């Protein structure tokens, strides 16, 4: 097990290095650098002036020297300076990650139990009417990406709660996190400004986890030991709750962990849509404003999150399922 984790960690570090190298290369293409020089200096710089500026800022040194410097700096916690936020990147990233973490926390709280309950109820009696209904519902939820559910929810809530409009002058302001509340995050998070983003994100992932749980539950329900338990005279409820559930929840565990990369895309969409100034929102901003250092930091943080969840899911799977101990 120890060797396995060590090997996985090695692959992980290699992956991070290769991916950051690619990002580093792409954000440092000559066109990008020229644009930075012009936004930092002035728009009417001549080519010589641009070259001089790049020389002065050290952008013209050999590519791998600069990449090496960036890696060393990042490892030491110095990720450079965000040109849009006018703050060190580490500060920006920390703040944004905190906000997104809060959102993710609520998404998980809503999504995971909901999905597991739906999955278990559907898989408990395969082929029953309840199963069919819940399955179609979960397929529907996986077919509606965040930007669709977001719009539909907004439309539904806008017409249902027309009353809010008067009360809160212009209801979306009250219903979403508006700009200032989100950046400060000190005005508190209320049900009104958090419900829609959380629901929008939770619904998309929920169907997927529910379907995995259903498949795994249905498989367990047909196994021999469940039949034995039933024949022994245990009630259906005891069989489901005490015997089936434990084994049926191993597979969804991995799926939940592997949802993170997917949620990451969802975070970007939802944060852009609801103007929630978290990690995903900064990604869009950094990419749009050519903020090299911030973009690099965001990419490696995102990659690490994805890889760590994969690692945890693998280890957890092996730990939970004694039959699949890694050699």
Partner 1 sequence: MKPETISTIEVIITSVIRFWPVWAALAVSLTSGYFIRERLGTFGRLYGSPVGLAGLAIVLFWVFTALFADVIAVLGPLEQSFTGGMKKAPIGTIDSESGILFLWGADNLARDIFSRVVYGSRIVLIIAPAATLIAYMVGSTLGLPAGYYTGWIDTAMSFLANLVLAFPVILLFYLLVTPEVRIPTMYNFGLFEVPWSIPIGMAALFFLFPIIFLCLMWWTKYEKAPQKLMIRGGTTLVIGLWLYVGLVFQSPIAPLSLDPNELNVFAAVVLGSSPGVFRIVRGLTMDIKTRDYVAAAQTRGERPWYIMLWEILPNARGPLIVDFCLRIGYTTILLGTLGFFGLGLQPESPDWGSMINHGRSFVRLTSTIHLALFPALALMTLVLGLNLLADGLREESLKD
Which positions touch partner 1 (CB under 8 A)? 11, 14-15, 18-19, 23, 26-27, 29-32, 35, 132, 135-136, 139-140, 142-145, 147-148, 150-152, 154-155, 158-159, 162, 165, 170, 172, 261, 264-265, 268-269, 272-273, 280, 283-284, 287, 290, 295, 298-299, 302-303, 306-307, 310
Tell me 87's DSSP state.
Answer: E
Shortest Cβ distance from residue 44 to partner 1 (Å)? 19
Of the pair 31, 62, the CB lying nearest partner 1 is at 31
In the chain, count of helices (H) and strands (E)?
17, 2
Of the pair 114, 261, the CB lying nearest partner 1 is at 261
Shortest Cβ distance from residue 238 to partner 1 (Å)? 29
164, 219 Cβ separation under 8 angstroms: no
CA distance 304 to 309: 8
Of the pair 50, 229, the CB lying nearest partner 1 is at 50
Shortest Cβ distance from residue 126 to partner 1 (Å)? 11
Residues contacting residue 259 through CB under 8 Å, at least 6 positions apart? 205, 208, 209
Residue (of 17, 28, 55, 97) closest to 292 by Cα position: 28
310, 257 Cβ separation under 8 angstroms: yes
Residue (of 135, 104, 291, 68) closest to 202 by Cα position: 104
Element (H, E) at 88: strand 87-88
Of the pair 14, 241, the CB lying nearest partner 1 is at 14
How would DSSP label each residue in 166-193?
Answer: HHTSSHHHHHSPPHHHHHH--S---HHH
Of the pair 223, 272, the CB lying nearest partner 1 is at 272
35, 50 Cβ separation under 8 angstroms: no
Of the pair 5, 287, the CB lying nearest partner 1 is at 287
Residue (of 212, 189, 321) closest to 262 by Cα position: 212
Shortest Cβ distance from residue 78 to partner 1 (Å)? 22
Of the pair 29, 72, the CB lying nearest partner 1 is at 29
Shortest Cβ distance from residue 140 to partner 1 (Å)? 6
């Amino acid at each position: 097990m120890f060797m396995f984790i060590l090997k996985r960690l090695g692959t992980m570090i290699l992956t991070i290095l290769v991916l950051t190298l690619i990002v580093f290369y792409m954000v440092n293409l000559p066109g990008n650098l020229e644009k930075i020089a012009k936004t930092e200096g002035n728009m009417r710089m001549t080519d010589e002036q641009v070259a001089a500026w790049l020389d002065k800022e050290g952008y013209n040194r050999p590519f791998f020297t600069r990449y090496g410097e960036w890696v060393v700096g990042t490892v030491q916690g110095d990720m450079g300076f965000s040109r849009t936020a006018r703050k060190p990147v580490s500060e920006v990233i920390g703040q944004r990650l905190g906000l997104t973490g809060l959102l993710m926390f609520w998404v998980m709280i809503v999504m995971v139990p909901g999905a597991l309950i739906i999955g278990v109820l559907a898989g408990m009696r395969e082929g029953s009417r309840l199963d069919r209904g819940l399955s179609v519902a979960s397929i529907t939820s996986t077919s509606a990406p965040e930007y669709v559910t977001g719009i539909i929810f907004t439309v539904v809530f806008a017409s249902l709660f027309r009353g809010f409009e008067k009360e809160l002058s212009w209801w979306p302001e009250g219903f979403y996190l508006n700009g200032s509340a989100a950046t400060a995050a000190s005005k508190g998070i209320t049900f009104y400004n958090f419900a829609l983003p959380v629901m929008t994100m939770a619904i998309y992932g929920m169907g997927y986890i529910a379907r995995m749980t259903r498949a795994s539950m249905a498989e367990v329900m047909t196994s021999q030991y469940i039949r034995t338990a039933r024949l022994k005279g245990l009630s259906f409820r005891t069989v489901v709750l005490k015997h089936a559930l434990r084994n049926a929840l191993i597979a969804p565990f991995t799926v939940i962990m592997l949802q993170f990369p997917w949620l990451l895309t969802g975070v970007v969409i939802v944060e852009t849509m609801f103007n929630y100034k978290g990690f995903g929102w900064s990604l869009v901003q950094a990419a749009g404003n050519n903020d090299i250092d911030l973009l690099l930091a965001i990419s490696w943080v995102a990659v690490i999150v994805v890889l760590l969840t994969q690692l945890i899911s693998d280890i957890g799977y092996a730990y939970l399922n004694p039959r699949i101990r890694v050699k």
